[in-house]
Amino acid sequence: MFKQARFIKYGRWQRILLAAICISLASQVNFQIFTSGFILAFSPLIMPIFLYYNDDVNPFQLVLAVAFASPMFRGFQLLLTHNGTGTQILLHMLAEIAFYLCYGTLYYILYWRRGQRTNSAFFLSIIICDYLSNILEICLLTGFSQFSYRLFQVLFATALIRSVLACVLAFCYRYFSLLVRQESHEQKYYNFIWVAASVKSEVYFMQKNLTEIENVMKNAYLLNQKLHARGVGFEEEQKMALSIARDVHEVKKDYRNVISGLGDYFSEDESTMQLSDILKVVVGYIRETIKNQQADIVIEVHSQVDIVVPNHYYLVSILSNLIFNSVDALKDAHNGLIRLIVSDQGDNLLFSISDNGIGMDDKTQAMIFQPGFTTKFNENTGDVYRGIGLSHVRLIVQEQFQGDLKVCSELGKGTTFEVKLAKIRLVQEDIS
C-alpha cells in the first residue's frame, strides 16, 4: 500500500489529543438500542479514519486516550442530567472503555503489526473490530445474557455500514491527496522541461560561439606576430595584442567549462515526450505568464497530430519563443488571440502561430531574422528581450530539424509565423 500521508500534521501527542477530543464529541451523536446504556454512536466511524492516517502512532496510545476521554465525557453528562444511578453510570463507562480497548487490541493484532498493510486488510480489520467490540460491550451491559440472532444481525450490519463509510472517507481523501501531489509533481516537471529547453538552446549557441572566440584569439595572436616582425617601435602594441590573445584564451576556457557543466547536467539521455505534452508544457507556461501579467490574451491550440519527439527541448524553445513574440505583440491589447495550429503535411509538420496584434511593416519583416535585431527593449533601462532571438530560432529550425521559418504580417492586423519541420528529424533520437 502507498505510504500514508499524515491526516493531521501535528506532533504525535497533539494528534492523539485531537483524535480523543474529536471521537469523544462524535460519540454524542448516537441512539440507544437493545438494552440500557448500549448506544450506536458516530465515533466508530471517525476513529478508523484517525487510525488510518496516523499509522505511525501505536494504536494502543490513541485508543487509550479515547477510552479515557469519551467515557468520562459521557459519564459526566449522565451525572449532570441524573440519567441513571451512580452504579449504572459507572457500568456504562466501563462498558464503553472495554469497547475501545477491545477495538484497539484487535486493530493492533489484525492490521497494525502486519509487515505489509493493504487497504483491503484495513477494511476487513475494522469490520471485525467494530463487530466484536460491540458484542463485548453488550455482554458487559447485560451480564452475558439476552442474546438473539436478530441482535447479531443488527450489530454486523452496523459494523459493515460504519466501516464502509469510514473507508470511503479515508480512501477518497487519500486519492484526492495523491491527485494534488501528482499535479504538483507534474507542474514541477513541466517547469523543469521549460528551464532545460531554455538552457539547452543557450548552450547550443554558446557552442557555436566558441568558433568566433577561437577566431578572435587567433587574430590577436597573428597581430602580435606581425607587429613582432616589423621590429622596433611596436613593442607596446605587440604586448597589447598578446594580452588580448591571453585574455580571450581564458574566456574561452571559462566558456567551455560552463558549456561542459550544463551539458553534463542537461544530458542528451532524456526521456521522450509526446507532441501533445510538449504543447501542454509550452502553452501552460505561457498562459500562466499571461495570467500573472493580467493580460487580455487567449491562446487556442488546434492539433490532431501526436508523435513522439526525443529531442523535445529544441521544439519547446522554438514554439515558446514564437508564442512569446505574439504575446509581446498583444501587449495592452483587448481581446488578444494567439492561435497555434499543427498540421501534418506528409514528410513535414507545419506549426502555424498567428496573432491579432500590432503586426509589422515590410521593413521590419525584412530585418527580423538578422542576428542581433530586436524591437523589444525597455527605453528606460535599455534591457532587451530575454529570448534567444528569431535569428537563432530560425537557425535551430534549419540545423536541427531541416526545416524553415517564414513570417507573414500586416501592420495593424497581426502576424503569422509558419514553422515547417521534417518529420524524420523530429522522431530521430540523436540529431546533434
pLDDT bin (cut points 50, 70, 90) of residue 37 is very low
By three-state DSSP, how is residue 126 classified? helix
Question: Is 64's pLDDT higher than 80?
Answer: yes
Task: Give the whole-angstrom CA distance, residue 31 versus residue 27.
Answer: 10
- Asked if 162 contacts 130 with a C-beta cutoff of 8 angstroms, the reply is yes
Q: Residue 4: its pLDDT value, please?
A: 44
pLDDT bin (cut points 50, 70, 90) of residue 43 is confident
Question: Is 148's pLDDT higher than 80?
Answer: no
Give the β-pairing of 297-303 and 336-344.
Answer: parallel
Residue 387 or 87, more confident = 87
Alpha helices in 266-374 (DSSP H): 275-293, 312-329, 362-367
| Residue that the C-alpha cell 504580417 belongs to | 409
With CA atoms as reference, report the closest residue to 116 among 267, 2, 246, 257.
2
Question: Is 383's pLDDT higher than 50?
Answer: no
Question: Is 90's pLDDT higher than 90?
Answer: no
Residue 262 or 399, more confident = 399
Q: All 3 cell numbers of residue 149?
A: 440472532
With CA atoms as reference, report the closest residue to 24 among 87, 61, 86, 70.
70
pLDDT bin (cut points 50, 70, 90) of residue 71 is confident
**Structure confidence by residue, pLDDT tens digits, 195-217:** 777 777 777 767 767 777 878 88
- Asked if 52 contacts 19 with a C-beta cutoff of 8 angstroms, the reply is no
Task: Give the whole-angstrom CA distance, residue 428 versus residue 260.
Answer: 23
Task: Give the whole-angstrom CA distance, residue 6 versus residue 1.
Answer: 14
At a CB cut-off of 8 Å and minimum separation 6, what does 17 contact?
Answer: 65
Count CB-CB contacts under 10 A for residue 290.
18
Judge residue 46's burial from the number of C-beta atoms within 10 Å of its C-beta, 0-12 exposed, 13-18 middle, 19 or more buried. buried
Task: Decide: pTM greater than 0.75.
Answer: no
